[in-house]
């Protein structure tokens, strides 16, 4: 077992779940939630803070500020606490209660935006608030995960090489799209090192990242109401948009087999299943998806039946063919054959 002196020094980077016995399609899931911040965002947080320190942007009087829907906020709160910086996270009402409390436990200040911008949604309102803070006081240092190249560089240097090493015969890689840091870092790496690998972006329906019209989204993590500045669509081979109702079904199906993953993971797995059902021509093709986090922070939302029913209706967790005589019937076949959003 390793001995660490800082929490960001620990992380399990080579854990994969073989979902072949659960899904109708063979798929390996890279689990990124096993570190002290609980998500893949720790990589970007460390990379951005390290760069800010090298560039002399941070001093003992600095206040790191960032807009986050949750996971990066937790990662930065942890890193800031371990290095002696103040941190202010600007989030919105979709951020899970558990996530906000985690940030506060690390000593982070949390500002929650309650009104969306009329054109650019909650993200636009968060960014506007961050800009005003920085204009008001030069102690604020905005790392800006939305345009900071160190966001994607963290995955170019770490996430993608780890996958490539573990799966030398990789055929297709599924990556969720939020700020697109993970997506762009992995896509750039494979375009350079192994261009034959197909890169599929998985996004939430209602996100504007790939040119679709905006619509309300309640599950934090993936998707954006402002087109990501880091995104280069030429590096992506295909895109799958997943409705949040399908995300919830997928999360509950995985949980029924003992795997409690976060909402982003449910979206990515669901998108991967649908894409593979349509495009996989050889059952022996190797497919990998990236799981950003685990599910404990979603117990009051994705895994809360009352919340699910209130926001998505009473039939979301009911198999699409309830008259089926088989009590062990899995709903994956229905999900996989759903009409693609894109």
Q: Is 320 helix (H, G, I), strand (E, B) or coil?
A: coil
CA distance 225 to 213: 9
pLDDT at 326: 33
Residue 339 pLDDT class (50, 70, 90 cuts): very low
All structural domains of the chain: 7-34+149-336 (3.40.50.1100), 41-142 (3.40.50.1100)
Here the tokens at position 128 are 């506007």
CA proximity to 288, closest of 140, 182, 150: 182
CA distance 220 to 323: 34
List, in order, residues 6 or more apart from 256 with CB less than 8 Å away.
none
**What is the side-by-side order of every strand in the sheet holding 140-142?**
109-113, 86-92, 63-67, 140-142
The gap between the terminal CA atoms of the chain, to the nearest Å, is 45
Q: Is 121 helix (H, G, I), strand (E, B) or coil?
A: helix
List, in order, residues 6 or more apart from 238 with CB less than 8 Å away.
198, 199, 200, 201, 275, 279
Per-residue model confidence as pLDDT tens digits over 24-75: 999 999 999 999 999 999 999 999 999 999 999 999 999 999 999 889 999 9
Here the tokens at position 43 are 């990589």
Residue 119 pLDDT class (50, 70, 90 cuts): confident
- pLDDT(226) > 60: yes
Contact 37, 76 (CB under 8 A): no
Residues in the chain: 342
């Amino acid at each position: 077992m390793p001995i660490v002196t800082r929490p960001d020094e620990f992380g399990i980077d080579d854990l994969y779940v073989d979902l072949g016995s659960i899904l109708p399609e063979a798929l390996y899931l890279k689990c990124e939630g096993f570190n002290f911040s609980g998500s893949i965002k720790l990589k970007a947080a460390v990379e951005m803070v390290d760069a800010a320190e090298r560039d002399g942007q941070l001093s003992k009087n600095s206040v790191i500020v960032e807009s986050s829907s949750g996971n990066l906020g937790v990662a930065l709160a942890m890193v800031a606490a371990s290095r002696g910086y103040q941190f202010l996270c600007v989030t919105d009402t979709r951020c899970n209660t558990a996530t906000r409390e985690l940030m506060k436990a690390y000593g982070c200040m949390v500002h929650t935006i309650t009104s969306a911008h009329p054109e650019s949604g909650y993200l636009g309102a968060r960014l506007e608030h961050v800009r005003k803070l920085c204009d008001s006081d030069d102690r604020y240092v905005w790392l800006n995960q939305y345009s900071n190249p160190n966001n994607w560089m963290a995955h170019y240097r770490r996430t993608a090489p780890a996958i490539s090493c573990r799966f030398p015969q990789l055929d297709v890689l599924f990556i969720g799209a939020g700020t697109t840091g993970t997506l762009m870092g992995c896509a750039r790496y494979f375009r350079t090192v192994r261009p034959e690998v197909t890169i599929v972006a998985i996004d939430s329906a209602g996100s504007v990242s790939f040119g679709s019209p905006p619509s309300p989204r309640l599950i934090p993590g993936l998707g954006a109401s402002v087109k990501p500045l880091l995104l280069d669509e030429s590096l992506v081979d295909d895109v799958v948009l997943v409705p949040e109702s399908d995300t919830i079904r997928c999360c509950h199906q995985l949980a029924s087999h003992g795997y409690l993953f976060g909402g982003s993971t449910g979206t990515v797995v669901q998108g991967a299943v649908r894409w593979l059902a349509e495009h996989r021509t050889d059952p022996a093709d190797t497919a990998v998806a990236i799981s950003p986090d685990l599910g404990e922070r979603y117990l009051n939302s994705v895994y809360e039946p009352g919340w699910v029913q209130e926001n998505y209706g009473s039939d979301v967790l009911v198999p699409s063919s309830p008259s089926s005589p088989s009590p062990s019937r899995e709903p994956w076949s229905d999900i996989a054959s759903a009409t693609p959003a894109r």
